[in-house]
Chains A and B, each alone.
Chain A
């Protein structure tokens, strides 16, 4: 289903921006608790964002786009996790120094050079995700490198920044955000554009994740780490796939994006061939055709259908719904026939690019939100409507048509946006931020902003980072994941187990417990990295067992190795009563103590086994059955090997007697 691509030939280049929340009790610029999520709210604020003039007296492209969308931005507030800082009604407090320390630690793990003075900058975001209209962010480290596939993956910079709001709903002209996550400290690791295939992208995401998690000072769980993936091909432009939730999604997404760029470059060539090389050569004219569709056969174009949709979707005038009466508007695209169905992503065509812009910028988010002459609905009467429309717009055979509908003002914006998207197409690939979907496709989110949106935060003084502070943090730095993997491999821990432990934050515990109890790293790693997985899947609350119990258990294993064979039974007992000492649990069950005359039961076990075996002459089967009946009572008390040997000896003895 997925078309193949020779990545080297198309000049595929990819870099990452990996976001990782830091584990601090409070937020970055205020004293609100970090990591306290709520699903209810007790206050709401309504705001709008207005772009600020940039240095050249022009609005930043993204800023202008966001302003055109005329979004009503609603924030849901809960007093438990939000104060007046998050509401942008109080200036920032001094930056959380603990977060700076954790960020420095992360930078050191990534092999970065730490900057001497951290300056807080404001990065404009006008989508409303941050109520100020900008994110406070600062470079902490630069020039890092980490080993990757026998070469190095460069880390351009690491920034510490405040997390944004969580999106609750985005409909029409109204976007709703929950402010609980806003202001939590995170670091963004920016890699060089060093990745050359989709598989490398996934691997690099996982690698950076392991580096971050090696310290134990970052958050884990849903949403604690997210990545933006930057992709381009030769002749294309950087496109950011934003908020890829899982590393496993990345290969399909970046492949799809590379393919899209290749196709957009072909479309550019086609447009140039037809003489469309810039904005001046494109003439897109649109007109109101509401009357033409007054009694249309296309059900969703009828005014009453629109009214019903508004009602069903609870779209409120002045909030979700834009200005003006319901209108149908058609744009004639002279000389552009065939371009609407031009392939872009796998299973997508250029009309999808238009639909994305119309959805985001004109705020028209009905599905579908546009119709076009190259995929016109095929029902009774609809073809003749298209014919009438062609007549009305005076379309020739080389012309294409796009139809949009909704509040008048939005339909005008939509037609203008369609023109602008074609202008972009004459130049190839526009710089965009795109949102990812599980099927591997992406859709337009916003124009990618440039460096013009960055400016110093005049509310915050710089923080000096002395070399002494860096040295102190370096002295207690966790082991880097590749060093740990090498050490684990040397004692026989499989790479997959090592990765799992590092990712889940268990590796630090493994090493600590091994050191403390004298247990072999391999045994501890196996217990936490493999054995507990099954119990966790079976909903046994192993994660609630305190570290103290694990230490007692491992010490018992060292003193009485036979107990290891009863590990599951013992862990279940601990999980059931995590407050009780492991020694008591073992004593109660007489575990680790060999029953005095267990060998005396062997002949009876054999007799029963012979009785049960359906092929009584099969000595191996009889032996296995006898062993299986004896072992449960001896688990954790007599080594299985010893039981097996005794059974074998007994079986041979029986055979000798028979002979």
Chain B
């Protein structure tokens, strides 16, 4: 049976039999009586496939849901039928010729959405009209165009998606957009921002990735403010680079614009999860202002012609080194035909000696191996210790302070151009979008240690 049209959606086995027996289905408005004489009035909801086959879920008239054991049901009478209609109210997005043109490209993350109150399902709001209904402030900022590129969860984004996205950005710029916003799930937003920094170079306008850490169906969501910040950035900011725009603090205060190649998701759930690594963010953005923090960025210039360079090689991987790592892992990658490996090494960029022969075999087989640091912050400085020098002799090239995820994205992109060793390593070590910076400012590493008197004093005096 077609799952979408299944009138008993999610119900299986015993529960399904009982519902059939009582001749009711999902969305039936029923009056159910159990063996204790309790009467439940409400609508039968679809059930999650992963739940057991012993209960039927009802949404009661007062809005609560309960699960009733089907063996305790004495009587179920259908009194009506109330199917949920997944429709978002649309209001026409007002067009104002004087305002900048911004294109929002959707990849599947939901930055704005409507909630189905019965199932809890989140229905993405995406067209300008839908977005206007959810975040009316947008109409005061720009003229908005939206394009749904694809609908995948962030964790399912893959190389072929990046190609499509890069080309779409090129098309929108060519079509005259004053700025691009990309709605994206937050899990792999850093990866996408990094590879877009290589695939779309020399952009004349801002390219802003945005998402939310609290889904937009909840009143306390960061989504609306992130969307406002990102659309403002795309429309008005002078920063013509690929940036991530997400909350600065967890409080509703301002967003930060992070350079696409230097940004990392640092907490699984905090709103203020994104942090610039080894440098400071480019700017703060609020609904009314921009505050530039780092003046070293490419200025907006509509006359500039972007270079769209969408290539990749997905036979690349990252190896997160750990003590006692077995060399056959490296051999297996060679055997499976991998072309490039980023090692996230310990400390300044190290792995243990037993790995050396395997690394030698790999480089000899033409696999390109580069080194980033699993400390996230700091440089791979392999000339400091013997270990590092030995590894370089084996053909591993250190990538300075390129963060591991960016290194992987760049290696994939570089190997899409060439597999000639000297050229690969030249491209890898030549920065394109600040993925390697010559110097690390002392405020580029600030993980404040909680509990210290001075930290606590600072925290007490500032919004978290």
Contact = CB atoms under 8 A, between A and B. Distances in A.
Interface stretch (B180-188, B249-257, B348-356, B429-437): B249-257
Given A48-B252, A117-B69, A55 B34 contact: no
A44 B118 contact: no
Interface string B29-62: 0000010111110000000000110110100111
A77 B216 CA distance: 24
Interface in B261-294: 267-271
A157 B218 contact: no
A464 B133 CA distance: 39
5 contacts: A49-B219, A117-B57, A131-B220, A133-B218, A458-B122
Contacts of B218: 52, 122, 132-134
Interface string A145-157: 0000000000001
Interface stretch (A265-273, A274-282, A446-454, A596-604): A446-454
A48 B63 CA distance: 25
Given A87-B250, A132-B220, A143-B38, A45 B214 contact: no
Interface stretch (B99-107, B310-318, B456-464): B456-464
Given A134-B219, A455-B118, A117 B38 contact: no
Contacts, number: 165
Interface stretch (A88-96, A326-334, A614-622): A88-96
B72 interface: yes
Interface string A98-138: 00000000000000010111110111101000011110011
A116 B115 contact: no
A137 B65 CA distance: 10
B36 A113 contact: yes
A116 B64 contact: no
A134 to B, nearest CB: 7
A138 B63 CA distance: 11
Given A57-B89, A84-B269, A51 B219 contact: yes
A43 B118 contact: no
Interface string A442-485: 00000000011111111001101000000000000000000000
A63 B251 contact: no
A451 B442 CA distance: 54
Interface in B413-464: 456, 459-460, 462-464
A55 B118 contact: yes
Contact of B68 (A43, A116, A454, A456): A116
A139 interface: yes
B221 interface: yes
A63 B220 CA distance: 12
Nearest to A450: B63
Contact of B63 (A45, A116, A118, A453): A453
Given A50-B219, A117-B57, A142 B67 contact: no
Interface residues of A, number: 58
B411 to A, nearest CB: 33
A42 interface: yes
A451 B61 contact: yes
B65 A57 contact: no
B119 interface: yes
A631 B19 CA distance: 80
Contact of A53 (B66, B133, B250): B133
Contact of B87 (A57, A88, A90, A451): A57
A46 interface: yes
Given A55-B116, A134-B219, 16 more contacts: A41-B460, A44-B462, A45-B463, A47-B252, A50-B224, A52-B218, A89-B267, A117-B55, A117-B57, A118-B66, A453-B63, A454-B64, A456-B118, A456-B120, A462-B51, A464-B54
A132 B39 CA distance: 32
Contacts of B88: 53, 57
Contacts of A131: 220
A122 B63 CA distance: 10
B217 interface: yes
B67 A458 contact: no
Given A117-B55, A143-B39, A456 B114 contact: no
A47 B39 CA distance: 41
A451 B43 CA distance: 13
A97 interface: no
Contacts of B459: 42-43
Nearest to B36: A113
A214 interface: no
A117 B251 contact: no
B305 interface: no
Given A52-B219, A126-B219, A457-B120, A47 B251 contact: yes
A349 B253 CA distance: 41
Of A116, A122, A142, A464, chain B has the most CB atoms within 10 Å of the CB of: A116
Contacts of B118: 55, 455-456
Given A42-B456, A55-B84, A451-B63, A115 B68 contact: yes
A118 B114 CA distance: 25
A159 interface: yes
Interface in A426-452: 451-452
Interface string B205-244: 0000000011011111100100000000000000000000
A54 interface: yes
A582 B66 CA distance: 54
Contacts of B271: 89
Contacts of A45: 250-251, 463-464
B380 interface: no
Of B84, B459, B460, B464, chain A has the most CB atoms within 10 Å of the CB of: B464
A77 B270 CA distance: 16
B134 interface: yes
Contacts of A159: 64
Contacts of A49: 219-220
Given A55-B117, A132-B219, A132-B220, A46 B65 contact: no
Contact of B253 (A46, A57, A142): A46
Nearest to A43: B464
A88 B220 contact: yes
Given A88-B214, A451-B61, A454-B62, A52 B114 contact: yes
A77 B213 CA distance: 21
B36 A454 contact: no
A77 B88 CA distance: 37
B64 A157 contact: yes
6 closest A-B pairs by beta carbon, nearest first, are A117-B67, A454-B63, A133-B219, A57-B89, A456-B120, A451-B63
A52 B253 contact: no
B89 A90 contact: no
B71 to A, nearest CB: 9
A50 B63 contact: no
Nearest to B34: A113
B64 to A, nearest CB: 5
B107 to A, nearest CB: 21
A54 B219 CA distance: 12
A54 B252 CA distance: 23
A454 B87 contact: no
Given A45-B251, A143-B37, A456-B65, A91 B220 contact: no
Contacts of A51: 219
A133 B55 contact: no
A30 to B, nearest CB: 12
A456 B460 CA distance: 36
Given A52-B217, A88-B220, A455 B117 contact: yes
A454 B117 contact: yes
B269 A455 contact: no
A186 to B, nearest CB: 16
A34 B249 CA distance: 27
B252 A89 contact: no
A133 B220 contact: yes
Nearest to B62: A451
Nearest to B86: A55
B219 A124 contact: yes
Contacts of A44: 251, 460, 462-464
A516 B462 CA distance: 58
A54 B456 CA distance: 41
